[in-house]
Structure 1
Amino acid sequence: MRTRSFTSFRVAAAALWLGAAVLRPGAAVPALQAQEAPARDDPIASLVGRLTLDNYKTTLKGLTQFGDRRQGTQRNRDAVDWIETQLQAFGCTNTERIFYTYPPPPPPDAAPRGTPPRGGGVRRRPGPNEGDLTTATGGLVGRRGPGSGGSTLFGYRGPTGVNRDLMAQPDERIRELNREEPVDGERSEVYCTKVGTTRPDEMYIIGAHMDGHGVNEAVNDDGSGTALVMELARVFSAPDVETERSIRFVLWNNEETGLNGARAYVAQRQELQGIENPPGSGQYPEPRWVGMVQHDMMLWDHGAPGPDGLVSRNQRPEADVNIEFQSNSEMADESMKLAFFFKAANEDYATDYPAAVGPHMTNTDSTPFMDIVPAISLRENERGAQVGAGWDPNWHQPTDVWTTYSDDDFRLGLNAAQTTLAALAQLTAAKLDN
């Protein structure tokens, strides 16, 4: 564990940041007073210590048996079932499902099919000397083009896109896992909940998407985030762990098709927040949301592409956990404060990699929440300026398989888990029943 630097000044600053913005009015910032205590008396350090590289890799490896887990396929449905079984085995036994249909019905005011999208229907080609490429979603990224998050990257970039070619995957076993094509219809996603002891009506949502594509094993995108959330569920569900506030662990489906699973959750559950059911029971099927934390691609921070468009095979010494909020969201100020709280937790409890905060959270399952509740995303690189500029050459490619990654890569995902667990333990006033 790195040397502690969480001084009394920063404890006060964190309390000031969170205050009423993230917590309810008058609520104290939980557990911050314990930050100065020796590690042996610190329940947060004890909880973080229950995260291990071997456990993280074991859970992530289990996801690879289902290939890329592409939505609308049997391998996706089998993976959802497996995740639910694992969560129950981890002690998070109150699993539930969200059901929805993909594709969703068009809104009443939708334009007829074939109508060009707003802003013009043709992707513009790069101008002279721009050296840019369009992303898979049509956003321009490069020296003079804004990325999908509004960022601009000055420098070289690598190609991006989505592999749909089965034969581009050289591993015959992985090809066979991914042979089935998706079919429209009903979808489901699973979640479970750590119920708070004294404030069960307040809840943090901790998410990652379990679906992928690219004819691969979807190890990084987003097996790495899915395994992280499942490992957090394991630690918080231990019988000797109590939290004052509730925590919901959600594994979204249909992220790759437009955040459909997260959008379905918001559509179905937002209006149920804070309603006691049955009345007087002390049970809250949908506690009031006080924060949403997404985890999407956690492993690969190897630096920018070189002049040849290639990225180093080795994790760079400057690798870090990127914590992002969206600066043009309705909850931007509160989300920024939450992001910096997570950064402080990383500095005090993560073992290997630091954290950096950025303002361009985009194209991930926290997006449907960002105008409703403080929302942040943890990932390997900045989504708009770096992932969108080819910093991760395995993104949606046949190379997103287990053998691509080293323990240096897996450890970056573990450090993201340490960061979230440490921050969440403080925000929910977690304690150990000794």
Structure 2
Amino acid sequence: MQSKHALAAAALATACLTAYAQLAPVDAADPVAPLVNQLDLDKYKATIKGLTQFGDRRQGTARNRAALDWIEAQLKSYGCTNTERLRYEFTEPVKRGPAQLQPLRAGGPAAQGGGTLFGKRASTGVNTDPMAQPDEKLRALNSEQTPLGTGPRESVYCTKVGTTRPDEMYIVSAHMDGIGFGEAANDDGSGTALVMELARVFNAPGVTTERSIRFILWNNEETGLNGAHAYIAQRKDLQGIESPKGSGLYPEPTWLGVIQHDMLLFDHGMPIPKLDAAGKPVLDARGQPVYTAPKEQRAEADVNIEFQVNAKQAEGAAKLAWALRAANEKYATDYPAAVGNRMTNTDSVPFMDLVPAVSLRENERGMQIGAGWNPHWHQPTDLYSTYSDKDFLLGLNASQTTLAAVAQLAGARGKP
């Protein structure tokens, strides 16, 4: 007898088959291609590099607040002049258990039982030691340590207002805070830069959209998705309400979909045994093999588009995921996309029972990332200099994927 989740997945299949072909084919009059062509690898890299000047942007610190100011200034410079802050009180730090705080060793208790499904697992965890960062300047930049201090916090967002349906909108988001005492270049500078680049293109002179698009950079993702939860608490019940009445203004348009972006650079594949100078496997203190990621982006690298199969809005989320998959095939230049149904631990999750919600990632969150496919996750090595152009190109292709899909879904027109 099939499980409930298997039956739910099967029930979604019919809807997904047609959603894949929903978006219009490319032709000479295609309004989307000129917008996608405005995305540029050097500009994407420059935005990530700009974010790294604030270190790991740990929530509650001065560097986090300085990064928010910089992001807001950049958005305004793109023409997104209606930039706003969502202010909330951070009162409940997430309680991280030992498995989340301590490195997981391949073959250890947290790694056992997954070998046949994931292959061999590498160490994962959160670096909590500021001295593990060898760069003295970066160590000094990240020296303020108040990650679990409570108090007022802010996320930042701006809105492209729709011309004919300003009362409806898509949310394009990423989280701007990080941890690990590095530069948080990938987690989540890569997603933040994507959202900022899309804001730049959609707010260029001459570009219009029928529906609204909101570009949100969440705070407090690393402490338990607090920024996203605060947004829902404050704004869910304001959806679609014209204010002032008769003005044609909708401070919170009705949510049509949420597209979250979280870690988009590193898809080097399954960890492999680390070898010594003689070519023999390196063993840890317990005699277990040490695993490390391959040095190059794998040939099979792809953008993972995920929704949650048991969410109340799963059917709509699946359609949204496949629309993004179709956009990738038509407009992305290098890397393909894959659709999965296990979205977890990212800022789209709080929305998934309220509105179709998906996330874009470098790897499958619940499987590959958790199995140590990215050794820089929450580590001092999450630095701009760690990644190659092949890595940055994966993030650019994710940008192309989301921009193309949202342009069609929101009815974008005009050539910047």
* TM-score between both structures, scaled by the size of structure 2: 0.87
Indicate the residue corresponding to 2:77 in structure 1: 89
Selected match of 2:19 from 17, 20, 28 = 17
Aligned length: 378
Q: What amino acid sits opposite 1:217 in the alignment? A: E
Indicate the residue corresponding to 1:310 in structure 2: 292
User: Aligned in 2, Cα 1:178/1:433: closer, same or farther, shift over 3 Å?
Assistant: closer
Indicate the residue corresponding to 2:198 in structure 1: 232
Between the aligned partners of 1:349 and 1:433, the Cα distance in structure 2 is: 16
Measured after TM superposition, the shift of residue 104 of structure 1 is 3.9
Alignment of 1:90-109 (within 5 A): 90-104=78-92
User: Is the partner of 1:250 in helix, strand or coil?
Assistant: strand
Selected match of 1:257 from 220, 223, 238 = 223
Q: Is structure 2 residue 358 aligned with structure 1 residue 376?
A: yes
Indicate the residue corresponding to 1:423 in structure 2: 405
Indicate the residue corresponding to 2:124 in structure 1: 160
Selected match of 1:219 from 178, 185, 201 = 185
Q: Deviations over 1:203-240 (max 9, x none)?
A: 00000000001000000000000000000000000111
Measured after TM superposition, the shift of residue 274 of structure 1 is 0.3
User: Is the partner of 1:275 in helix, strand or coil?
Assistant: coil
User: Is the partner of 1:385 in helix, strand or coil?
Assistant: helix
Q: Deviations over 1:334-359 (max 9, x none)?
A: 11111011000000000000000111
User: Aligned in 2, Cα 1:220/1:122: closer, same or farther, shift over 3 Å?
Assistant: closer
Alignment of 1:405-424 (within 5 A): 405-424=387-406
Indicate the residue corresponding to 1:22 in structure 2: none
Indicate the residue corresponding to 2:323 in structure 1: 341
User: Aligned in 2, Cα 1:422/1:401: closer, same or farther, shift over 3 Å?
Assistant: same
Q: Is structure 2 residue 345 aligned with structure 1 residue 363?
A: yes
Mapped contact 2:59–2:177 kept (Cα < 8 A): yes
Mapped contact 1:133–1:159 kept (Cα < 8 A): no
Q: What amino acid sits opposite 2:181 in the alignment? A: V
Between the aligned partners of 1:132 and 1:203, the Cα distance in structure 2 is: 46
Selected match of 1:385 from 360, 364, 367 = 367
Q: Deviations over 1:390-422 (max 9, x none)?
A: 000000001001110000000000000000000
Mapped contact 1:277–1:283 kept (Cα < 8 A): yes
Q: Deviations over 1:103-124 (max 9, x none)?
A: 2499xxxxxx9xxx9xxx997x
User: Is the partner of 1:43 in helix, strand or coil?
Assistant: coil
Q: What amino acid sits opposite 1:241 in the alignment? A: V
Between the aligned partners of 1:16 and 1:290, the Cα distance in structure 2 is: 19
Where structure 2 has 5 or more consecutive residues not aligned to the other structure, the ranges are 1-14, 100-105, 274-289
User: Is the partner of 1:153 in helix, strand or coil?
Assistant: helix
Q: Over aligned residue pairs, what C-alpha RMSD do you find?
A: 2.2
Indicate the residue corresponding to 1:171 in structure 2: 135
Q: What amino acid sits opposite 2:19 in the alignment? A: W
Q: What amino acid sits opposite 2:372 in the alignment? A: G
Indicate the residue corresponding to 1:143 in structure 2: 113
Indicate the residue corresponding to 2:382 in structure 1: 400
Q: What amino acid sits opposite 2:233 in the alignment? A: A
Mapped contact 1:43–1:432 kept (Cα < 8 A): yes
Measured after TM superposition, the shift of residue 42 of structure 1 is 1.8
Mapped contact 1:153–1:389 kept (Cα < 8 A): no
Between the aligned partners of 1:246 and 1:14, the Cα distance in structure 2 is: 25
Where structure 1 has 5 or more consecutive residues not aligned to the other structure, the ranges are 1-12, 20-28, 107-112, 124-129, 135-140, 146-151
Between the aligned partners of 1:310 and 1:98, the Cα distance in structure 2 is: 40
Mapped contact 1:132–1:144 kept (Cα < 8 A): no
Indicate the residue corresponding to 2:35 in structure 1: 47
User: Is the partner of 2:406 in helix, strand or coil?
Assistant: helix
Mapped contact 2:122–2:271 kept (Cα < 8 A): yes
Alignment of 1:105-124 (within 5 A): none
Mapped contact 1:242–1:433 kept (Cα < 8 A): no
Give percent identity, aligned residues only: 65
Indicate the residue corresponding to 1:189 in structure 2: 155
Between the aligned partners of 2:350 and 2:365, the Cα distance in structure 1 is: 16
Mapped contact 2:34–2:415 kept (Cα < 8 A): no
Mapped contact 2:172–2:216 kept (Cα < 8 A): yes
User: Aligned in 2, Cα 1:426/1:142: closer, same or farther, shift over 3 Å?
Assistant: farther
Between the aligned partners of 1:122 and 1:413, the Cα distance in structure 2 is: 31
Indicate the residue corresponding to 1:282 in structure 2: 248
Indicate the residue corresponding to 2:62 in structure 1: 74
Between the aligned partners of 1:198 and 1:228, the Cα distance in structure 2 is: 26
Mapped contact 1:229–1:249 kept (Cα < 8 A): yes
Indicate the residue corresponding to 1:131 in structure 2: 107
Indicate the residue corresponding to 1:198 in structure 2: 164
Q: Deviations over 1:58-114 (max 9, x none)?
A: 1111000000000010000000111000000011110111111112499xxxxxx9x
Between the aligned partners of 1:251 and 1:162, the Cα distance in structure 2 is: 22
Between the aligned partners of 2:151 and 2:62, the Cα distance in structure 1 is: 12
Q: Is structure 2 residue 27 aligned with structure 1 residue 37?
A: yes
